Amino acid sequence: MDLMNYIGGKFERHSGEKWLDVEEPSTGNVFARAPLSTPADVDSAILAARKAQPKWGGMDGEERARWLDRIADGLESRYEEIASLESKDTGKPISLARTVDAHRSVVNFRFFADEIRRHEGEIFEMADSTNFVSYRPVGVGALITPWNLPLYLLSWKVAPAIGMGNTVVCKPSELTPMTANLLMEVIHEVGLPEGVVNLVHGDGLGAGSSLVSHDDVDLVSFTGGTSTGSKVAEAAAPQFKKLSLELGGKNSSIVLEDCDIESTIKGVVRSGFMNQGQVCLCGSRILVQDGIYDEFMERFIEEVESMTVGDPSDEGTDLGALISAEHLRKVEGYIELAKEEGGTIVTGGYPCLPERLSNGNWIAPTVITGLSVDSRCSTEEIFGPVVSVHRFSKDSEAIGIANNTRYGLAGSVWTGDLERGRRIADSIHTGMVWVNTWLHRDLRAPFGGVKDSGVGREGGKWSLGFFSEATNVCVKHD
């Protein structure tokens, strides 16, 4: 299957001759090709978005919200197809692709349709004047997304961006282009006005960087790795483009002696290994208090080893394949480094799999102990099914370890004392902390990181604020 770009309401072949193979991570088989778009393709997508913007931005919010609902309906009617495409393209288990990826892609459009209906300007009265605050579209947006949650993250940007009256050019990860293509099919079928949503496939250096640095792009919303984020920020800076960066993380799960061990182990395992550990929020450093350490470790390892690693299309699979051979090598490199840094691999290795999966990117869930809390493996983002466990005695020590990374995205605290949990959570320098849960999301709440984990917040009114320009008109009374 050869994919096409979607520009000005039409599926178009790209202008160059080069293609990118799309591989199935679980087998290594190539099953599609995506265009390696050129700067000329990026130009035409931006031109189409620019042309469509005034009319789209001039519609009222209710009308745009109805379009978001139609897209949600279209996605919902292809729910199972989204799940199986996402599972095939990313290597994640089908059950996860269904409950997380397909589910959230539909919910994102519905949620922002409702938010846009509710969204109003503000009025601030002064003794002699009235201030009328309104939210205008920014213009043309570049939306760049990674491979770990392809449609989930793309829909999380497209819905608020167009809902607030912007038009957009999307650039999905070259590793996982399939569901972005499906979204364009849905957008085409529902008849969204041409040019409102455009898509160029391609790599970061070609399509991605020409999109970000283009003179006619007004805002950039990027989710991906921290080092790419800094290149994106540099490219967007000369024109002061509005910029949102959701980057990597190295998140701690803090397990206190007074926790409920049963639910904590389930929560910590889920947080460490969901999506093969390829979620920026994953808790890959597990800090366990002295008094519970031995019991925790015994039951934790048992739970980790009981996970089924295997064919992503099997309903019973807990962990699938890593995204690419290159990424697998990076993860293996960290495991080797952990040994050099004095760590002990308590469980890990390679899963035993049928012959037809032998060329896939496989590794078993890996638990490392004995690392120093400032070792590279304990402080750098590995982005794979690899966690390190560390022992601590006092709350202040756990807080110190959790804050000892360049990242500041998320974390979790597991305790029977909610006051204590809140106190610790308040001392962790990240954008989000969960107490006795993980990845439990109210879409109205702010989402985003501090330090090297990014700039800005997404979610509810934060997304609507980013994708608009708040404008004040101050009228002096007679």
> Which residues are identified as catalytic?
246, 280
DSSP string, 207-246: IIHHHHH-TT--EEEEES-HHHHHHHHHHHGGGT-EEEEE
Whole-angstrom Cα distance, residue 251 to residue 280?
8
Whole-angstrom Cα distance, residue 170 to residue 195?
12
Nearest Cα to Cα of residue 221 among 282, 144, 146: 144
Whole-angstrom Cα distance, residue 263 to residue 268?
9
Determine which residue in the list 166, 209, 244, 379 makes contact with ligand TXE, applying CB under 6 A: 209
Q: Does 212 bind ligand TXE (CB under 6 A)?
A: yes
Contacts (Cβ under 8 Å, ≥6 apart) of 108: 152, 155, 156, 159, 443
Q: How far is the CB of 223 from ligand TXE (least distance, A)?
A: 5
Residues 222-261 that bind ligand TXE (CB under 6 A): 223-225, 228, 231-232, 246-248
Determine which residue in the list 152, 334, 383, 467 makes contact with ligand TXE, applying CB under 6 A: 383
Q: Does 381 bind ligand TXE (CB under 6 A)?
A: yes
Q: Does 147 bind ligand TXE (CB under 6 A)?
A: yes
* Residue with the two structure tokens 């807080």: 399
Q: How far is the CB of 119 from ligand TXE (least distance, A)?
A: 26
Binding mask 42-81 vs ligand TXE (x if CB under 6 A, - otherwise)? ----------------------------------------
Q: How far is the CB of 42 from ligand TXE (least distance, A)?
A: 11
- Which structure tokens are listed for 230? 């800094």
Residue 393 main-chain phi, psi, to 5 deg: -110, -50
Residues 449-478 that bind ligand TXE (CB under 6 A): none
Q: How far is the CB of 249 from ligand TXE (least distance, A)?
A: 7
Determine which residue in the list 5, 148, 253, 366 makes contact with ligand TXE, applying CB under 6 A: 148
Determine which residue in the list 219, 280, 287, 389 makes contact with ligand TXE, applying CB under 6 A: 280
Q: How far is the CB of 283 from ligand TXE (least distance, A)?
A: 14
**Closer to ligand TXE at the Cβ: 12 or 246?**
246
Binding mask 328-367 vs ligand TXE (x if CB under 6 A, - otherwise)? ----------------------------------------
Residues paired with 135 in a beta bridge:
470
How many CB atoms neighbour CB 317 within 10 A? 20
Q: Does 208 bind ligand TXE (CB under 6 A)?
A: yes
- Which structure tokens are listed for 251? 């998140």
- DSSP H helices, 164-213, are 178-190, 209-213
How many CB atoms neighbour CB 430 within 10 A? 24
Q: How far is the CB of 454 from ligand TXE (least distance, A)?
A: 8
Nearest Cα to Cα of residue 99 among 86, 110, 89, 111: 86
**Closer to ligand TXE at the Cβ: 147 or 156?**
147
Instruction: Write down how long the chain is.
Output: 478
Whole-angstrom Cα distance, residue 349 to residue 347?
7
**Closer to ligand TXE at the Cβ: 104 or 171?**
171
DSSP strand pairing (129-137 vs 386-392) = unpaired
Binding mask 92-131 vs ligand TXE (x if CB under 6 A, - otherwise)? ----------------------------------------
Which window, 33-41, 168-176, 303-311, 345-353, contacts ligand TXE (CB under 6 A)? Answer: 168-176
- Which structure tokens are listed for 292? 């519970």
**Closer to ligand TXE at the Cβ: 148 or 289?**
148
Nearest Cα to Cα of residue 42 among 143, 193, 123: 143
Q: Are 320 and 328 in contact (CB under 8 A)?
A: no
Q: Where does this chain bind ligand TXE (CB under 6 A)? A: 144-148, 171, 173-174, 203-205, 208-209, 212, 223-225, 228, 231-232, 246-248, 280, 381, 383
